[in-house]
Amino acid sequence: MGGLTGKRSENRSRIIQAAAQLLREHGPAAVTTRGVAEHAGVQPPAIYRLFGDKDSLLDEVAESVMAEFAASKAAKVEAAQADSVDPLEDLYAGWRSQIEFGLANPALFRLLSDPARVARSPAAQTGRRVLEARVHRVAVTGRLRVSEPRAVAMIQAAGTGVIQTLLATPAEQRDPELPDAVYQAVLAHILTDPSTAPPDGTLATAVAFRAITPELTVLSAAERQLLDDWLDRVVNAL
């Protein structure tokens, strides 16, 4: 039984790797049952037994590649925290890696741009949590002047838009400075200017305080929740 299970797992992995390579090099149209089977060195019926249909196989491929990418990003965040890397430098590094990944994997990016697919993708949710962790580190420093969820949503929306725009533009006509220009525009909206006076500073302080409430273990869970609610009201009102 163990041998059969191992063989099944091996075939599954080979099929996913073969489909991922075809997807990267030739796009979704190349991911046919016959093509993947030939590339993976298995018989076509094995794909139906393991995945059911082409759409399910594409889901598995997208999830596998994204899971690997998300795990890599999570490891980088942990390393940045351990090495005390500046939170803004870490946030920018994450932005650049996301843009580069999308441009290098256009077919996969288009698959993952489907909201329904993203909603059910554990890897996509892991990627979002990585971005949330990076934004949280900025919030703790007192530099964020919008709520953490708003900052995450703006960065994610801007990144998706930049990748879509560049992919829709012939390579020779792409503006190489667009990603940084958009990123700076987002930062101008979500970050405080150290030279400004309240209420900008008041809002940043509220956001920073909201970021550290989970660490206030001297308070009970109910008290922390109440404090979170109060601070959310302050942040949304300013």
Q: pLDDT grade, residue 199 (50/70/90)?
A: very low
pLDDT of amino acid 198: 44
User: What letter would DSSP give residue 169?
Assistant: S
| CA–CA separation, 61 and 63 (whole Å) | 5
Q: Which of 186, 195, 230 is nearest to 210 (CA)?
A: 230
Dump pLDDT digits (tens) for 37-65: 898 888 888 888 888 887 788 888 888 88
Q: Which of 90, 205, 211, 215 is nearest to 155 (CA)?
A: 90
Q: Which of 127, 126, 47 is nearest to 95 (CA)?
A: 127
Whether pTM > 0.85 for this model: the answer is: no
Q: pLDDT grade, residue 229 (50/70/90)?
A: confident
| Residue 232 confidence (pLDDT) above 60 | yes
| Residue 31 confidence (pLDDT) above 80 | yes
